[in-house]
Amino acid sequence: MKFYNQRPAKLSLVIALALGLSACGNEQTAQADTKKVDAKPTVADGKAFINDAEQQLADLSVEASRAEWIYSNFITEDTAALAAAVGEKYTANSVKFATESAKYAGLPFGAVDERKLNALRTSLVLPAPLDPKKNAELAQISAELNGMYGKGKYCFQDGNCMTLPELSAIMAESRDPAKLLEVWKGWREISKPMRPLFENEIKLANEGAQDLGFKDLSELWRSQYDMEPQAFSDELDRLWGQVKPLYDLLHCYVRGELNEKYGDNVVDKTGPIPAHLLGNMWAQSWGNIYNEVSPKNGDPGYDVTKLLADNAYDEKKMVKQAEGFFTSLGFEPLPETFWTRSLFTQPQDRDVVCHASAWDLDNLDDIRIKMCIQKTAEEFTVIHHELGHNFYQRAYKNQPHIFKGSANDGFHEAIGDTIALSITPKYLKQIGLLNEVPDESKDIGLLLRQALDKVAFMPFGLMIDQWRWKVFNGEIKPSEYNKAWWELRQKYQGVQAPVARSEADFDPGAKYHVPGNVPYTRYFLAHILQFQFHKALCEIAGDEGAVHRCSIYGSKEAGEKLNTMLEMGSSKPWPEALEVVTGTKDMDAKAVLDYFAPLKVWLDEQNKAQNNQCGW
């Protein structure tokens, strides 16, 4: 999963230290406010508040972006302190504005101001209680949870201690069930001490959500989607219902192949798949086991990594080619500052954060990417994805600051992935990397590899917040955290823990987004939307072939529609943005089924031929 820098441009995560500073710095003000005689706020008061908040956040976002960029590219104690200080200031103001915005809820604003006010009010992922002592306590807990995860290591019996990236490499590469089990269990030791902290954190954050006028944290999180919270939950269930039959076929086939490889004692022919065998620490995507389950004729007949080398593509040329994809759609070329200020290769003289990311530093034209590019097929795709974020950022630059973001939090990731779906053999031929497009009979391997990453991810992308929302609203009690986690994993994914787990464990905490308080439903939405966008844009481009073979490269018509949607930012409800490209206001997973239609036929045939009993 690729992330990008958007915190300064979109009101998002609450930095724990900032909460603490806000609690200390505002204690006297909070106490004084309680002594004031309640005066009914007016629309004029609300408008003045919105305008002031928006301007302050706009100014702070630039300061925070620059500090964060410097820290990521020059990692020292000093740059870390500078970035943290600015981040604390930005987030403390976000806390203040969210709390104050609750005073104006229900006043008769116009549509634009109402939307801005709601964005301010729902911006906090982890809202602090108004009580300064509880505010500070929440800040301390959040910092501790993040620290536990960030410092997490597992030490083998020989004394060799490994970090998460090193352990994840073993999960991706090893095929020794015993070794995989040890690593799987070992990483989950780090999350056991998180449990009481997490329980108290939820209690405090629920109080903070109630102070903002929400029933609980679940309602706040689900209120960010231009729908009633329950209606949004129902929408997610509907979308998953569309995809589940395809997922079930993929699960059935993969389980059969793993059973053949490992035997009945390791993988039951009819039960859930043990979570440690799917090539990923959390069994969230299965692409790393492609070689174990690939079809006999799965070789597409070309290797993009080799093609890049044969055609003398260096790191900058790879980025230039990705830029060429967007200019072929009618987008303006990237500004010169992009090329002089971005980071494309890992410096030899200093440490940098190499994780691929797209940046918008001034909310206008100073857009950049930061990557330590490897000259591989995967990185070629990632570059197209990251530039998708950049072109989105630039498209909405003329929106008011609060609307400088994606239509909903699933759109930004979806746009990057939509562009990546057009990196097809047809595109590779158009840009001169391939001489001939392989016959469609070669497509099954490509589709299976895509499905192992994208279709396999969907139930995982859905279930994390399904668990969290039930924790937030009290449906899942603290005494059942782990039990409910594995019940949902089995329900949605057909995956089970490889060894018995108990309430002494806290397996949700082994996934960063839980102790880090990062909402996860956005990734499920992105996996639905990218296929819906891709299919619609292919139709606009006039491509009449199979949708999985389509590339919108060179289509000015598709580019114009796409840009119109991107320019809207978050200024309108997401269904209106969706309609611009797709012609409908409804998300629809049918495009996923259309894309993988040939694979579905093949999976049906394989499951029948091997007498696989699907389901779990």
User: Known catalytic residues?
Assistant: 355-356, 385-386, 389, 413, 513, 523
Q: Which two tokens stand for residue 205?
A: 């954050």
Query: What value does the CA radius of gyration of the chain take, rounded to a whole number of Å?
Result: 24
Residues 6 or more apart whose Cβ sits within 8 Å of residue 497? 274, 275, 486, 507
Please tell me the distance from the alpha carbon of residue 422 to that of residue 380, in angstroms, as a whole number.
12
- Residue 360's φ and ψ, nearest 5 degrees, are -130, 105
Give percent helix, percent strand, percent coil of the chain, each to the nearest 5.
60, 5, 35
DSSP state, residue 41: -
Q: What angle do CA 393, 399, 405 make, to 5 degrees?
A: 45
Residue of 315, 286, 18 whose CA lies nearest to 140: 18
For the chain, the distance separating the N- and C-terminal CA atoms, rounded to the nearest angstrom, is 27
Q: Collect contacts of 535-542 with beta carbons under 8 A, ≥24 apart.
A: 535/591, 535/594, 535/595, 536/561, 536/581, 536/582, 536/583, 536/591, 537/418, 537/561, 537/562, 537/581, 540/581
Residues 6 or more apart whose Cβ sits within 8 Å of residue 273? 251, 254, 255, 258, 267, 283, 494, 495, 496, 616
- The torsion of the CA quartet 562, 568, 572, 578, rounded to 10 degrees, works out to 10
Tell me if 344 sits within 8 A of 319, measured CB to CB.
yes
Tell me if 429 sits within 8 A of 246, measured CB to CB.
no
Residue count (the chain): 616
- Residue 404's φ and ψ, nearest 5 degrees, are -85, 80
